[in-house]
Structure formats: C-alpha cells, structure tokens
Amino acid sequence: MPTLAAIDVGSNSCRLKIARVVAHRLKTLHEDREVTRLGTSVFDSGLISPEAMAATLRALKRFQRAVQAHGVDRIRVVATSAMRDARNAAAFQAWVNAETGWNLEIISGLEEGRLIHQGVTAGEPGAGGRVLLLDLGGGSCEITLSERKRIRETVSMPLGAVRLTEEFLQKDPPPPEGLARMHQLIARELRRAHRKIATPAATLVIGTSGTAAALSETLTLAGKTAAIAKRSARPGATLAAGAVSTRDVRKLAAKLSRMTLPEREAMPGIGPRRAEIIVAGAMVFAEILESFGLSGFRYSPLGLRDGVLEQMLAELDARASVHREFEHERWESVLVTARRYGVDPRQAEPVRAHAIQLFQDLKSLHELPAEYESWLAAAAVLRDTGKFINHQNHHRHTQYIVSSSELYGYNRVQRTVVSAIARYLGKSRPLPGDRAMRNIPPEEHRNVHRAVVLLRLAVALNQDRASDVLRVAAKVYPKRVYLELKPGRTGAELELWSLRKEGDYFREVFGRELFATLA
C-alpha cells in the first residue's frame, strides 16, 4: 500500500496532505497548513521577498519531517499564482530543491482549476451533477463548470484575496476609492469569465479555499443556517444543505468593508491572518455569486492538494475508479488541441494505432516506461499541428505548439517530452542542446530517442494512405528486428522504402539491424 503526499505552495499559505492507498482509494493520514504569504511582495514588486521565501521554506522543511515520518513513497509539490507571476521564481525553485530535494512544479491557472475539480468531485457527495466550483486563493480565482464529473469550462482570473488586498486595500478600514477600483477590476474579469461560462444553470455551487471556509463558518455561527438562507434567496431558487445564501454573503462583505482589522479579527470564524485579506475575498465571492445569478454556495474542505493526490492515484493504480476518468480527460484534451490546430484525429488514427502496436510488440527492445505509451499516442495525433502555422519546417512549429499548449493531465516536463517525440520526424535527430530537449531531464533523453524511433516507424507505415491501412507484425532477434508487412489493395512499396530509410537511425538507437519485408 503506497503512501502519497501532495503539497500546495499557494500565494497565501502552504498545505500538506498525506494519504495511503487502501483498496484502490485514498485514506488520509496527515494534514498540515501554514500561512506564509508568498505572494504579498510578488503582487507589489513582481519578486518574491527573501522573508517570504524563508517563511515558505521553513514550512516545507516541517512538512518534510512529516513526509519522512510517514514513509511517503511518492510526493508532488505544486505552486500556483505567486510563482507564476514572480520574476525570481526559478531562483526559489532552485533553493527549495537544494534544501529539500523536491522539484517545485509551477502549474498554470487552468491546470490548477482542473486539479481542484478532480479533488472535489472525487470526494464531495452530490458533485456528480451540474456543478459550479469556485476556488478563491491568494493570487487567483478559478471558476469551473462541471457536469457528470467532467469539466465543461474553466476560467482562471487574477482575483486572489492577497493580490487584491495588496493592490487596493492597504489602508484600514478599506478606503472607498480602493473598494471602487477593486470593484471595477472584478467586474472586468467577470465579463471575461461570462464569455466562457455564460449561464451555468448549476444544481450545486461549491466554494473551496480559506475565504470560502471563513465566509461559511462566520455566517453559520451567526445563525445563517441553510433553512434561513433558503428563505432569503431569490424566488424559486434552492440551496443545498449547509449552504449560505448570496444575499448573506453580500451583507457580510459590506459589513466587513466598514470594519477595522481588530473588529474583523474579533468576528467568530475569521482568524487573525484571514482578517487581513477577508474583505477582498468576500467582495469577490459576492460579485461572482451575483454576477452568475446564483443562490449561494456550499463550502468544501477539499481542494488542490486532494486533486494532486487523486491524479497520483490515477497514474499509479489502473484499478482505481479515478484512473479511467483521468485517462479519458487527458485524451480528450489531446483531441481538442489537435482540432484547434486543424488536425483531424480520425486521419491521425492509423499512425497512432501503429505507434501503440509497435510500443507493445517491441517492449523487450525499447524498454520504455509504461507512461511513454500514452505520450507516444499523444505525439502521433499532435505531430502535424505545426502546419497550422506553416507547412515549411512544421515539425519545429509542432514542438512549440505542443510544449506551450494547455494539455490537461500533463505537467510541463511531460508536455515537453511529447513535443520532442513529435518534433523529430524530419531529417533532424534529437541533440542535448536542442530547444526541444533543453527542458527535459538528461536521464530521459535516451527514452525520448527510442520513442522518436517508434513514431518515425509508425509514420513510415502510413504514407498518404486513405483507407488502405497496412497490417504489420514485428519480430525481435538478438541482432536484428523484422517488420513484416501484409500489403493492402495498393501494395506496400512506398512503406517498405520509407521503413528502410529509418534503418540507420534505428541501428544508432537500438544497436540492431532493421529489416522490412512483405509477409
């Protein structure tokens, strides 16, 4: 039973969650959280301050002791908005790695939304219908529309509570002019969100993060239970059990904006650190709920770290229920990206099928890790996306498009590997100093070479064939490899010639001769 750990390095706080895999599900063993305000200086100067770095590193070292005590087998550490914006993010990543040995991975806003969705829908009862998720962190706010546990739309906006407080609300109580300017920014960002999510028509609205927790707890402690909230909602609207109403959120936001910091700290449900940023957070929540015509929201303690754990489980355990959803979502993202750049996945299917067949038939030869099978399939479908920019040198454009695209379920290194596999289908060969290889760990270079050869063979087997797809059988011997082709109606001469052209590169990578023959 492997033990997994996820760490979320947010703009306001760092969170740790450790869980063990039991019967293909996650069982929580330990949780921890510390407010470090990593984003405070970033949103003002564009740089992470030395003090914020030191505070965050102290929290990570404490987390590391817990990770070691629980005998964690696999860990993933992700960072969000502050690290996305900071000009010195790379320096802090290097410092974290030097002190802990961990790779601090910076994820995009859309990937953050996807992971939050995965964590909430996997563990929150009633999240299988049409659900709107609102996650308001320190630096950004993600809105995700989900239906049957699958994402329909996601939008990420720079409306985090720490970011807005630093920009607009540095005086106490918050000045009217600061509140007005903040309202203008929120309204502008929500107009952009409405272009992607027009009318959510959600049966359930779930709020996550510290702001949602503080609003929910404060209103509940003040006697705003679900029954009272339901009566105060707009006519015909319904609220889930335990929800708080939009009207009460708006009243609380207005009340908080008139209070001093000591007065906010004294309110039940709002701690000293949350009181510093709660005005901005409450205002954003109220504006979102009103803008989308929502009755209210229900708080969920699940979030980004839970989504990271669920993805780790999906990658580790093929029998886990989340595995099938994860693979489907990841593959759908590949297909959407292909179509966006003018590639018909149906036309790419024969190459993908041959690439997967060669991966399976030549396992004893290539010895690639299992995850390369899906990466190879993605590269096969995306290999011609570069033609959207220019047919000339389109493989180089493909590498740029794939590495820069938002492929759900692929981290930055994985996208870079997929882009490199798709890049080298012309005359060039992967070299360590190439742009495509530069951001790939050196230990993966050998695997990329081998995957490139497999895709080149799959492409060679499909030379402008319409519906006459060749069948191929592979036989591996100590000094040679045979590919036996069964010709279709139009023969296989062009494919034989194309395969034989790959012989030199095949020998260079695998140390064996390649023979292509007719069955």
Looking at the fold, whether 323 and 443 belong to one and the same domain comes out as yes
Are 156 and 291 members of one domain?
Answer: yes
Would you state the structure tokens that stand for residue 483, as one six-digit string? 């590919």
**Domain at 157, CATH number:** 3.30.420.150
Q: What is the mean pLDDT of the chain?
A: 91
Q: What is the CATH number of the domain that holds 74?
A: 3.30.420.40
Q: Are residues 133 and 281 in the same domain?
A: yes
Query: One-letter amino acid identity for 381?
Result: V
Angle at 378 between CA 372 and CA 382, to 5 degrees: 140
Which tens digit of pLDDT belongs to each residue from 216-243?
999 988 764 444 444 434 433 344 556 8
Q: Do 323 and 420 fall within a single domain?
A: yes
* 78 & 174 share domain: no
CA 202 to chain centre: 23
Global pTM reads 0.84
Per residue in 128-178, pLDDT (tens digit) is 889 999 999 999 999 999 998 888 899 999 999 999 999 999 999 999 999
| Amino acid in position 488 | G
Q: Are residues 240 and 366 in the same domain?
A: no
pLDDT digits (tens, 9 = 90+) for 17-34: 999 999 999 999 999 999
Residues 332 and 291 in one domain: no
Of 435, 463, 491, which residue is a domain's last?
463
Q: Identify whether residues 351 and 277 lie together within a single domain.
A: no
CATH number at residue 426: 1.10.3210.10
Q: What is the dihedral of CA 419, 420, 426, 432, to 10 degrees?
A: 150
Same domain, 385 and 438: yes
State how many domains the chain has.
3
- 175 and 212 share a domain? yes
Residue 35 forms beta bridges with which residues?
13
Burial class from Cβ neighbours inside 10 Å (0-12, 13-18, 19+) for residue 425 reads: buried
Same domain, 104 and 131: no
Q: Is residue 419 a part of any domain in this protein?
A: yes
Specify the pLDDT at position 129.
86
35 in a structural domain: yes
The parent domain of residue 257 ranges over: 125-301
